[in-house]
Structure formats: structure tokens, C-alpha cells
Amino acid sequence: MASLEDKRHTLAHLLAASVLELYPDAKRTIGPAIDDGFYFDFEFPTHKPTEADLERIEETMRDILPAWTEFTRSELSAEDAKAEYKDNPYKQELIDEFTKDGQKVSFYKSGTYSDLCRGGHSDNPAKDIAPDSFTLSRIAGAYWRGDEKNIMLTRVYGLAFETKEVLDAHLLMLEEAKKRDHREIGERLDLFHFDESIGKGLPIWLPKGNIIKEELEAWAKETERQWDYERVTTPIITKEDLFYTSGHLPLYKDSMYAPIQIEDANYYIKPMNCPFHHRAFAARPKSYRDLPVRYAEYGWCHRYEDSGSLFGLMRVRGMQMNDAHIYIQKEDAVEEFVRVIKLHEYYYKALGIENYEMELALRDPAKMDKYHGDEEDWIDAERMTIEAMEKSGVPFKIVNEGAAFYGPKMDFQIYSSIGRSFTASTNQLDLFMGKRFGLEYTDKDGTKKTPAIIHRAPLGTHERFIGFLIEHFAGAFPTWLSPVQVRVLPVSEKHADYAASLRTTLKDAGVRVDVDANESLGKRIRAAKQEKLPYVLVVGDKEVESNQVSVESRDRGQEGAVALSEFVQRVSQEIKDRI
């Protein structure tokens, strides 16, 4: 039986066959399997399909599928392969790439459809793939080879799972995710804004969104102080030599903003905080008694992400990162890494995030030349990271690709309340950069030694983490994070003075509160519910006379009349305890 990935790759071929049957002049490019299905990129010289055409393309796939009872493989020379694609510059480019050392290229054929491919298909698609286990989901633009300097192609996406039941469950999740889209909720709740006159991928935090950002940051700072971190502040710009020392130039150059020339030197806006923290560690002599040194900073970073990959708050060019670097004796690094994992758990549990796992990215065996440093250090870093992950008790998986150029990379994958996964933060045990920067401490015997370094960012960036929280809570933030925690609604104008006094009392108690006296009471109540405010207080004659408030809780519904002092105490405690 074919694996799900092989089935998805097969469906990409089936999609291309269907498109060519309906649009004979379409030019095929590439079509891989992806996490939830498959896609294929095309150039359409004349008629370009729209999402209204997806159903017809999908039905054609189902019509073709019964004839696909096998895949046959053949090999062609570069010259013969190019003859198969006389009018297709994309395939010609791929063939040149695959045959630069004189090797042949492989083709796979099923039914009447044949394509350049490296393999990985269902042996018998008609038998292995249920006709109701896949669907075409959307059409998008995609640059050829992901480069915005190249032509924009049309990408057709499909979803595919083992059974119709799993596919239906995934479609329900996507429908719910659409309702929770952080871009739409953020717009509706006035949290953030993107302005083309400022630049792509550079968010403006509006007052309400800024409250969420500052509350998270205050919590992180308070927590890190309790966990023995020290705060540093580092510049947003630096001479390029710093990034040559770290090795990021030229490896990372395409993801950095262009340099600025100042006083005959090139300066770069920083894309990461690590090199700056290393220089902070080196600024003063250290002994083993000083370790571990834990430097934390909500540092501003800017990365020149490809414009096609920008996506609301989830993929931006300007970001503030909950970053820290821990400098520690190598023999203590495993226990410290376990401590870092426990800090992640603390944050996630406090936010009601119950489903999460770790993913350790190791070196890709096929691309070993891209990694720097001593083989012994790599082996030690991999072994120690796995040991820490095992000790933590948090579920994890290992993938043999995706490591940083200087060490293995461990990501925390968190799942929202509807099961959608996000990479929350990247954490690393680094035995390379300490040597690269010449960092050292004096050990007990008076010798100089290089510290191990742990990179960690439990809350990731403000941008991505708040984007996740918007979708996780569907905009209904816990009281302590809500931009407006209480809204007071006077029944009529004669209750305005009492409403104003309530506002003052609550504000003095540290509660974020406003008063809405516009429109009819019914409209104001509906507006408060649409904003998903934690508490609404309706005040009329009875409340004024008894010094009470009529409470409606977003989470518990109507609570009726409550003494003002009791309500203030309860909400204040809820905020203080970050319930």
C-alpha cells in the first residue's frame, strides 16, 4: 500500500493530467506533495482557470483515475528529455539542472500522462486512492522557483487524506480556521494595521493591539526575572563584520535588508539578536562562578522575507522577539536545556495551550557541505539535545533536515484550539558560536574554556505569537489580555454620572474599562458581544440606588446584580492571576 505522501504526489500528476486535458496550451512546471495534500504550478498562455473551474478540473481527475493502474519509469538523455518539452522553458531549465553532470533524467507515466519526475508514487492509483479522499481547494499565484523576479505562475492546490472521513474533518477545521483568521479578526477588533506607504510586512500596532503586546512582554519580563534572567538592550544596526564573524554573511544575506554605507563601512539592520548577545557576554571577564549567564531581550529584528511569503502577522519583515541566550558550562547544558523546555510548558499551560510537541531538525545527509563547525561538536550537540528532550517528557519527533548551519534546531510546535499547528519558537544548543566569537570563561583550575550556548525564545515574536493567540481564542482573549476588560453601559443619559464613577473606580483598581452611551442599549450590547469583551455592566435606576452592577460575562452569561465592591475585587484578582 502506498504511503500518504506517495498518494499525494500521484494526485499532483493526476491534477496536471486533468489540467492539460482541459487547457491543452498550459505549460506544466512542478507539483510536489505537501503537508495536507499537493499542488501544481502552471503557466496559462490564454484562458486562466478561476476557483469556479476547480470542480470541473476535479471531476476530470476522477474520470481519469480508473485508467491509472500502474506507473512505469523510463530514462532519457538531456537532449531527448528536452524534445519532450519543446515549448516549455520551465521543464527545459529543470532538465539542464538535473543533467549538468551528464546523467539521464527519469520520467514516470500512468495512463496517457508522462512527466519528468524523481519518483515516489502509488503503484496502482486506481486501487490505492479513493475518489472521495481528495478535493481541489484553491488557486493562488506563485513565482517560478519562488523568486519574485521570475514570472508569476498559477498554483492549483489540492487536499488529500487516507479517507473521506479524515478529509471532511480537515475541511471542517479549515472552515473554522477561516472564521478565526487573525487578519480579519485583527482588522475588526482594531489590533494592527499594514500600510503600503510604510512597507510590506511591517505591522503597525494600534492601541488595542499594543495593549496585548505590552501585556505579553510584561509577563515575559516578570517571569524571566523570577527564572534568573538578566535583561540587555542591543543596537538595531551593526557593522557587517559582526555577521561575517557569526557566519551569517554571505549565507543569510538574501534574508537581510540591504546594507547602509556610513563612514566608509557597511552597516546592516539586525535580523537576529544572537551576535549582539555574544558581544555582551564578551564585554566583561567571566569565571565559572558567573555561569550560567542568561541574557534576555525583546529585541527588534528585521528580515527581508520574500514578498510572496508574507502573511499577516504570521510572516512579517519587522518583529520583536522574546529572545535570550544562556552561556553555560558544557557539562551543565543538558539540565539547563530541560529548564528551558519547562519554561515553554509554563507559558503554554498558563495560556490554555494543551497540545504541543517538539521537533528536532538534524542535518540533511544529502547536503552536509552547508553545515559549519567540528563534527565532534555536531555529534555532541545532537546527543545532548536529544537527551534533554527525553528528560523533559514532552513528546518529540526527529527530522533529518532543517538544522541551522551551525547546529541542530529544536522547534516547539503548538496546536490551536481547532488543531491547527504553528511553529511557536526555535531553541538550540550551540557548541559552535562560542568558538567563533572567542567567548571564554575562567574555570576552577584557572584554564580558559568556551561556554556552551542555548538560544531560546518561548513566546517567539510578538507578531507571530499574537497572530496565533488571535486564532486560538478567536479574538475572545482572557480578561488579563483583553484590550478592554469591562464596558459600562448606562441605560439612559440620567445614569451617565454613575457610569462615569464606575469607570473611575475600576480604572483606579487597574481595570481597562470604557463607557459606551451611544445608540440604543440593544445595539450597544450587541456591539460589546461582537468585540468579545469579557464583561459588560448595564446600569440603570436599580443599580444606582443599590450601588450594584448588572453583570454579563462573556464566558458565563448573565450573572445578574452584583455589589460593585465584589465585582471589582473579583475582576482585579482575575487580572492579577492571569486566569
Model pLDDT for residues 24-68, shown as the tens digit of each residue:
999 999 999 998 999 999 999 988 999 999 999 999 999 999 999
Burial label, 112 (beta-carbon count in 10 A; 0-12, 13-18, 19+): exposed
Q: Where are the alpha helices (DSSP H) in 196-240?
A: 207-226
Tell me the pLDDT of the chain averaged across its residues.
94
The domain of 167 spans 4-173
pTM of the predicted structure, to 2 decimals: 0.85
Q: Please state, in angstroms and as integers, the Cα–Cα distance from residue 516 to each residue in 144, 189, 523, 536, 553, following that order.
A: 52, 16, 11, 10, 17
Of the candidates 173, 208, 232, which is a domain's last residue? 173
Residues 198 and 248 in one domain: yes
Task: Tell me the average pLDDT across 268-274.
Answer: 95
Q: Residue 146 has what pLDDT?
A: 84
pLDDT at 410 over 90: yes
For residues 400-409, average pLDDT: 83
Q: What is the pLDDT, as a whole number, of residue 57?
A: 97
Does residue 146 form part of some domain? yes
Q: 3-state class of 265 per DSSP?
A: strand
**Residue 321 pLDDT exceeds 70:** yes
The crossing angle, in degrees rounded to 10, of helices 375-392 and 333-350 is: 40
Does any domain span residue 479? no
Distance CA 508, CA 572 (A): 10
386 and 499, same domain (yes or no): no
- pLDDT recorded at residue 515: 96
Q: Percentage of the chain surpassing pLDDT 70?
A: 99
Residues 123, 33: Cα–Cα separation, whole Å: 16
* Domain count across the chain: 3
Residue 366 has pLDDT above 70, yes or no: no
Quick one: pLDDT at residue 308?
A: 78
Give the CA angle between residues 117, 120, 125 to the nearest 5°. 105
In angstroms, rounded to a whole number, what is the distance separating the alpha carbons of residues 345 and 348? 5
Is 526 part of a structural domain of the chain? Answer: yes
Q: Assess if residue 478 is contained within a domain.
A: no
pLDDT value for 370: 73
Q: Are 481 and 338 in contact (CB under 8 A)?
A: no
Taken in order 363, 367, 371, 373, is the CA torsion positive or negative? positive
Identify the CA nearest to 341 among candidates 383, 305, 390, 281. 390
Q: Which residue among 121, 147, 173 closes a domain? A: 173
Whether 191 and 166 share a structural domain: no
Cβ atoms of 161 and 174 within 8 Å: the answer is: no
**Rounded Cα–Cα distance for residues 567 and 579 (Å):** 16
- CATH number of the domain bearing residue 549: 3.40.50.800
Predicted pLDDT of residue 558:
93
Same domain, yes or no, for 156 and 206?
A: no
Give yes or no: residues 265 and 210 share one domain: yes
8 A C-beta contact, residue 155 and residue 39: yes
- Helices in 351-458 by DSSP H: which ranges? 375-392, 433-436
* Domain end call among 443, 473, 503: 473
CA angle 27, 30, 34 (to 5 degrees): 140
**What φ, ψ does residue 100 adopt, rounded to 5°?**
-65, -25
Q: Is residue 517 part of a domain?
A: yes
Q: What is the pLDDT of residue 68?
A: 97
Nearest to 159 by CA among 34, 338, 264: 34
d(CA 337, CA 351): 22
Residue 119 contacts residue 106 (beta carbons within 8 Å): yes
Q: Could you tell me if 440 and 497 lie in one domain?
A: no
CATH number at residue 270: 3.30.930.10
Kindly state the average pLDDT of the residues 572-576. 95
pLDDT at 223: 98
Q: Are residues 457 and 535 in the same domain?
A: no
Q: What is the b/e burial string over 389-406, where b = at least 16 CB atoms within 10 angstroms of the residue's CB?
A: beebebebeeeeeebbeb
Q: Is the pLDDT of residue 555 over 90?
A: yes
Cell 468579545 appears where? 532
Share of the chain above pLDDT 90, in %: 86
Cα separation of 90 and 576, whole Å?
A: 59
Q: State the CATH number of the domain containing residue 101.
A: 3.30.980.10
**Please, which residues bridge with residue 448 across strands?**
442
169 and 189 share one domain: no
Q: Which of 556, 473, 514 is nearest to 208 (CA)?
A: 514
Query: Which of the two residues, 440 and 307, has the higher pLDDT score?
Result: 440
Beta bridge partners of 294: 326
Same domain, yes or no: 273 and 339: yes
C-alpha cell at 336: 539547563
Q: Are 335 and 402 contained in the same domain? A: yes
Instruction: Clarify whether residues 150 and 247 are in a common domain.
Output: no
- Torsion (CA) 468, 469, 475, 476 in degrees, nearest 10: 150
Residue 480 lies in a domain: no
For residue 101, pLDDT beyond 90 = no
Cβ proximity of 151 and 144 under 8 Å: yes
Query: Is residue 178, in this structure, part of any structural domain at all?
Result: no
Q: What backbone phi and psi angles, to 5 degrees, belong to 546? A: -100, 0
List, for residues 153-210, the tens digit of each pLDDT value.
999 999 999 999 999 999 999 999 889 999 999 999 999 999 999 999 999 999 999 9
Instruction: Please give the DSSP secondary-structure letter assigned to residue 315.
Output: B
Residue 383 and residue 270 in one domain: yes
